[in-house]
Amino acid sequence: MKVITIAVWVLRIAVLAAIILGILFWTGNAVNLIPVHMLLGIIAVLSLWVIGLAQGFIKGGSFGLALATFIVGLALAIVGLYQQQWLLGSSHWIIQVIHLLLGLSAIGLGEMINGRTRRIVKNTAAA
């Protein structure tokens, strides 16, 4: 499905750029680019939701995977938006790691759905 392919590429690029910026933030650099990081996060979450919706509407799509995209996307957005207020001080790295893991989960989920959708489309075309 073309929509999923495009959304997966948007997700890949947005998450990669967000991770690069996140690493810069952890090292104390480029803090003025936090709004760009947040925009990339919003783009990543929206593209994940598009992927989930699109695969949910194809024949053989999974409601569970669609639901998972919305849960992971929402969790990623909430943690991203509010992480500066949680576990301040020396324990803040825990929230940062959770945020990173949610971002990696988002891209993993998107890639998993992309592969699953390709197999479904391929099997449907062969049948």
Q: In the chain, count H helices and then E strands.
A: 4, 0
Interhelix angle 34-57/2-26, rounded to 10 degrees, is: 150
* Predicted confidence (pLDDT) per residue in 33-92, tens digit: 999 999 999 999 999 999 999 998 888 888 999 999 999 999 999 999 998 888 788 888
Confirm whether pTM is higher than 0.75.
yes
